[in-house]
Amino acid sequence: MLVLASTSPRRQQLLADAGLAFLVDAPDVEEWNAASHPELSPAELARFNAGRKAQEVSLRFPEAIVLGADTVVTCEGKVLGKPADLPEAHRMLEWLSGKTHEVITGISFVRRSERVCTESIVRSWVTFRVLDQMGIEAYLEKVHVLDKAGGYALQEYGDMIVERFEGSKTNIIGLPMETVLKYLHNHP
């Protein structure tokens, strides 16, 4: 049995699109962020949060494979989390305009009954178009971004703001399915 330690609709959709059967269980952990833990690199932060989510949910599903994930957006040494409000989302998009940023997802697979914990990091890069105020406002009118790291969604009108990307598209959406499917294939 696979249990997703996340209530993210994007992660659920990616697993469903891959034809996987899974349960969803919300982890009861507070995510660490770059402000509270500046000693951690963005990759360490993502890996740590993913592990905490998977470990906590595995307490309720010790026989299952529990999948935890955490996605971080970073650009020029700054970590961008989920915007608190639309003005913050606007500032994020304005700051990312014309730049290439990195999307890092930490993944953790835990099967408590077998004392198995496998963690990995997947990196992708996204280059934004040069955005003007009207373009940013038009994008924010179309897409709900407050629950998305970096304040945008590649899968929702991404062509309005994204010039190109490198690496896993599903990683940028929130769950690198290539890594997930490979692990599940090797650990039935």
How many residues does this entry show for the chain?
188
Q: Return the sign of the alpha-carbon dihedral for residues 86, 93, 106, 48.
A: negative
Residue 163 DSSP label: E
Instruction: Name the H helices within 59-173.
Output: 86-96, 133-142, 169-173
Are 63 and 110 spatial neighbours (Cβ–Cβ below 8 Å)? no
Angle at 172 between CA 167 and CA 178, to 5 degrees: 60
How many angstroms separate the CA atoms of 159 and 151, rounded? 15
Are 171 and 155 spatial neighbours (Cβ–Cβ below 8 Å)? no
Q: Which residues are catalytic?
A: 70
172 Cβ partners below 8 Å, 6+ apart?
103, 124, 126, 154, 165
Count of CB atoms situated within 10 Å of the CB of 170: 24
